Amino acid sequence: MSTKLATEKVSITSLEAVIVDLPTIREHKLAMTTMQRQTLVILRLRCEDGIEGLGEATTIGGLAYGDQSPETIKLALDHYIAPLVTGMDARSVNAVMAHVGKSVQGNALAKSALETALLDAQGKRLGVPVHALLGGAVRNALPVLWTLASGDSARDIAEAKEMLEVRRHNVFKLKIGKRAPLEDVAHVAAIKAALGDRAQLTVDINQAWSEAIATRHIPDLVDAGVMLIEQPIIRSNRRGMARLTQRFEVPMMADEGVQNAVDAFDYAADGACSVIALKIAKSGGPLATMRTATVAHAAGIGCYGGTLLEGTIGSIASAHVFAACENLEWGTELFGPLLVKDDIVVERATVNNFELAVPNLPGLGVSIDEDKLAFYRRDR
């Protein structure tokens, strides 16, 4: 490693994007798809001082969830972003991201991987954790919920009871919207009745209901014991979200509807949600997510630490961001590493006593397991 002066430029020398396919522990059923594996795009950003920064971009079900797939993320990083940033100063994260933003429209997931890798490298360079680069951690551990998404009530109840027994999770999200509304309500009610006061329940409808169906069945979900309802209607119907938010006392959380700070401002102005799900992937990186959180805080809107089911690299990057957010009253769902059977890191993220510890090592505090990366990479 070189001994450059702190004032000297440290050039980015290369970017390498690797697609990795990891099997899940069980089927994970959402309104738009059923997952049996999770695909990660791992970014390795190398700098002339010998430091490597790690990033991750992950989506759900290829193109089932959004308009970016693992293959298009890799394409954007390899063919468009890498030529733009090679030779730029790796320490100037804002300058690099602004330069990319002028030439690459959209592609928030690829940008998130890049910004994460830049911050990881800079943290390693300075000997500080990423959250220190974001203003410092407000908390050193994060509550993490678990999503029950097998689609089978008995199996979900057994799974939840096991999580409670080992003190891993005591808040559960139910993925609904694929079946008829009354079937989904019955599914939710059965699980809540079985768990009682030992656990809290939220539901994620993943935009599957119309406003009329949501108006009809949200009271049923409340009666079943649901404490939070996530994105019940399509993301483009912000006025409909406002009507639901103002009609019902149960908090409405915007997820797909709020991609970035601009969307957060619009939702706040229209009173279209009580809570915003923060995700580094959809905002375009850790710094971009902090900007979204600042808008939410200014508007008095609660924040929740969301996930696109990232592996350990992406989940720990999110954890650094959520640790630095002043307002995170609704906890997090950084369970992605627990949903896959294996990962490509030396030490996987774990949850104990209902919390995920935030690393205090330089950078993200995560290292690649080269053997596992070689085994799981798609192009092996």
Residues with catalytic roles: 175, 333
Q: Which of these, 94, 160, 151, 87, lies nearest to 122 by C-alpha position? A: 94
Residue 214 is which amino acid?
A
Sign of CA dihedral 81, 345, 317, 37: positive
* DSSP alpha helix (H) spans, the chain: 70-75, 82-85, 93-103, 108-126, 130-133, 153-165, 181-195, 211-224, 238-247, 261-270, 280-283, 286-299, 312-324, 336-339, 370-376
Q: Which of these, 98, 39, 48, 102, lies nearest to 74 by C-alpha position? A: 39
Alpha-carbon distance 192 to 201, whole Å?
Answer: 7
Bin 363: left if φ > 0, else alpha if -120 < ψ < 50, else beta.
left
Residue 264 is which amino acid?
A
Alpha-carbon distance 164 to 34, whole Å?
Answer: 25
